Structure 1
Amino acid sequence: MKWTRLSMVLIAGIAGALLLVACGADPTPTPTPPPPPTATPTPVPVAQPTEAPAPDPTATPTPDAMAMFEAEKADLLAAAQEEGELQAFFCCALGDGTADHIRGFEDKYRIKVVFSGGSSREQAPKVIAEREAGQYTLDVWSGGLNPAIPTLIPGGVIQPLKPLLFFPEVLDESGWYDNRLHWFDQPDNEYVIGWNGSGTTAGIAYNTDLVDPNEIQSFWDLLDPKWKGKIIIRDPREVGSSGTTAFYYMNEQLGEEWLTRMMTEMDLTLTSNARQAAEQLALGKFHLCMWACGREVQRLEREGQPVDDVFPHILAEGASISPGGGAFYVLDRPPNPNAQKFFANWFLSREGQIFAQKASESQSLRTDIPTDGVNPASIRNPDVDYFILGSQTDYQEQLESALTVVRDALASVGK
């Protein structure tokens, strides 16, 4: 405790009074006025201990708070180990790489991670059907904003994640891109958090034998007639590619006009199969691939095929960050509630996000971890002000408007 001059004077006075009583002094001395009921608003510390206010989530925990956290964490881990396992669904790139990297978590914490991968679009109706039959088989899910926001939240499939988070390093927003946690379920901001923060340059894959990327400095350059019939795209009406559509629509330099002209003027080939699109790009059947072709193109590039999904420059209309398949949420009525809570906190911690980066090769939205194992194409440029898709309060409304434009435009040309 820090002693002040005022404190010393008070103590000396009290000690003197006690001494007089002990020596038989007048038993009725002039009473000392009682201290005021509330502390005077001065910078002098109060001598009596007072209850500390609850720490701000982003503040550095005090030693006592850290001890309480460690105790809570240990109790939770013990309960999770008693359950023995975690049931997870990991979409997309995370699902592809989890088997090679999750062993470290299992060995350290003695919790078995039973996971499946694939498409969130295909997983959602399966999980909904199971729950309608009274089967609750999943604890956590890493996937896209769609189907989480339009389907899983309204259907009561996922529960609020925010109340489960208590690791200080997770809640410390200074460790995250843009100094904030990235919640994507507006306006609730408690169900769906983004962890994938890979930056993009153009979001366009190309055949390196057929395209000089320097010819394309703006998205408007893609409307040049020379590209007509030479572009294959993931169907933008489907889950998994809608975020790209939102970027084009919400970008003030592109918007409805650019989107409509792209759909109607360029004789696009649409596919639901990203791997097929990438393979046809590599064969030279198409010059460009757009709307979420990158992951499959990267695979073919590693195999030596003449394809690339990284432009050497950012186009005039800017670049974006989208969680893609890298949003995280927890399910209602989990079979392993303690393992669910522990894993959710661990996954968003530094250790967990290092795992996520290695498994997915995508850069995390955490800024306090190294980028070892991240695909160089995914690493954000610190000099670029990225447009963060999905974090806008009206994102879902804007996305629906964008999809309406796309549907109407494609229908007008018989697609």
Structure 2
Amino acid sequence: MHDTESDRAGLTLTRRRLLGGLVVGGAAALGRAARGSAATEWEQAVAAAKKEGKVAVNTFTGQGFARVFKLFSQVHPDIKLDHTNLEPVDFVPRVTTERRAGLYTWDVCTMPMSTALQVLKPAGVWDPVRPAIITPEARNDASWRGGFEAGFLDRDRRLAYAFTLVRAVGVFVNVDRVKDGELTSVKDLLASKWKGKIAISDPRVIGSSFWPLTVARLKLGDAIMKQLLVDQEPVLSRDRNQLTEFMVRGRYPIAIGLNALALQDFQVHGVGKNVRTLLLPELDYQASGSAVWLLNRAPHPNAAKVFVNWLLTKEAQAAWARELQTNSRFVGVEPGDPHTIVPPGLNLLQIDSEELLPELVKTQEISKRLIT
């Protein structure tokens, strides 16, 4: 008996359905296997972290960090969180000095990209964070504004993860002493009435100053550095917290590079309510603010992995944005600072990408020549 044409067509269709089912089924099986592998890796990390019993984390100063980290302790009560608040200007020399002596204190830190890349990357301090991010929620493109990959700002796209995105704050002004409309550009800061009345965190070492000064220099030319740092006779300090307190107490009407978190702490207690930020067009950029980094030779590597993946959950990001008044890249998290939202579609300079590091270094070098 010979197959009819219709029989052959039916057989072909049946084979196609079978192959299609095998492909779909195989893909589903692979998906389940991948999820199962991630779950197994996560369970193993948590179990190992519980045995280590502790994770050591450093952040900026600010009372909001402790409130955020209470959530970690609630979710992972078997892992004690040792938290320090060393600013990068203090953290960097301490880390490098301790490591020369064979001491390894910290597992994780959150700090700006520029200092971490400029100083601690050449010192060989970091382990890449990408392999440590293992949970499906954290790695899901749909979780993050711009997708998961947008959080990697280093050239190799693996060293640190930037989970926040903020627009520049500009300058800090005492609204009782700076009239509305009196400052509309950086050039207005050069008026004689502000000579000796501007406080600036030392741009030789502090990113919150050399970031905006880099943008100003790129837009206005290198001469703006001398005009601001020398001709205007500003008060310079490496102690951002002290300058913030001076500003709150009314000693200076204008400041660049203050510690915004310290200012928030003052204002929560009703002090410094007249200090606000003013974005000038020549100082406009976007930044991550801080990224999460893993230190190598960490004393608690598994607890560090657990902490990083917890930090990249929606719940942790919501707390971070709320308590630190910043804006998370996690989709669906309410902005903690509506004034520094980067509007969708606005193309701003990403000041803390590794590609811009040479320009930041140049700003620091010019500052070193000018400040004696």
Distance in 2 between residues matched to 1:365 and 1:260, nearest whole Å: 36
More helix by share: 2
Corresponding position of 1:402: 363
Contact 2:49 2:303 in 1 (8 A): yes
Cα gap change, 1:335/1:6 in structure 2, threshold over 3 Å: closer, same or farther?
A: farther
Quote the RMSD (CA, aligned, Å). 3.2
Contact 1:234 1:293 in 2 (8 A): no
Kindly indicate whether residue 356 of structure 2 is the aligned counterpart of residue 388 of structure 1.
no
Distance in 2 between residues matched to 1:131 and 1:387, nearest whole Å: 35
Corresponding position of 1:316: 281
Contact 1:205 1:294 in 2 (8 A): no
- Counterpart secondary structure, 1:363: coil
Structure 2-normalised TM-score?
Answer: 0.84
Kindly indicate whether residue 232 of structure 2 is the aligned counterpart of residue 266 of structure 1.
yes
Matches within 5 A, 1:267-346: 267-302=233-268, 303-305=270-272, 307-311=274-278, 314-317=279-282, 319-324=284-289, 326-346=290-310
Matches within 5 A, 1:4-403: 9=11, 45-46=19-20, 62-93=31-62, 96-110=63-77, 111-179=79-147, 180-185=149-154, 187-201=155-169, 203-241=170-208, 242-250=210-218, 253-302=219-268, 303-305=270-272, 307-311=274-278, 314-317=279-282, 319-324=284-289, 326-371=290-335, 374-382=336-344, 384-391=346-353, 393=355, 395-403=356-364
Contact 2:248 2:271 in 1 (8 A): no
CA shift at 1:89, angstroms?
Answer: 1.5
CA shift at 1:108, angstroms?
Answer: 2.0
Distance in 2 between residues matched to 1:400 and 1:165, nearest whole Å: 30
Question: What is the total number of aligned residue pairs between the two structures?
Answer: 362
- Taking only the aligned residue pairs, the percentage that are identical comes to 24
Bigger radius of gyration: 1
Distance in 1 between residues matched to 2:40 and 2:299, nearest whole Å: 24
Cα gap change, 1:47/1:280 in structure 2, threshold over 3 Å: closer, same or farther?
A: closer
In structure 1, runs of 5+ residues without a counterpart are 14-41, 56-60
Distance in 2 between residues matched to 1:12 and 1:195, nearest whole Å: 49
Distance in 1 between residues matched to 2:262 and 2:301, nearest whole Å: 35
Deviations 1:96-150 (A, max 9, x none): 3232232322222232212211212212222223323333222111122244212
- Counterpart secondary structure, 1:317: helix
- Counterpart secondary structure, 1:330: strand
Structure 1-normalised TM-score?
Answer: 0.76
Cα gap change, 1:246/1:49 in structure 2, threshold over 3 Å: closer, same or farther?
A: same
Cα gap change, 1:82/1:147 in structure 2, threshold over 3 Å: closer, same or farther?
A: same
Cα gap change, 1:209/1:272 in structure 2, threshold over 3 Å: closer, same or farther?
A: same
Contact 1:208 1:306 in 2 (8 A): no
Distance in 1 between residues matched to 2:221 and 2:69, nearest whole Å: 41
Contact 1:196 1:364 in 2 (8 A): yes
> Which letter does structure 1 place at the counterpart of 2:253?
H
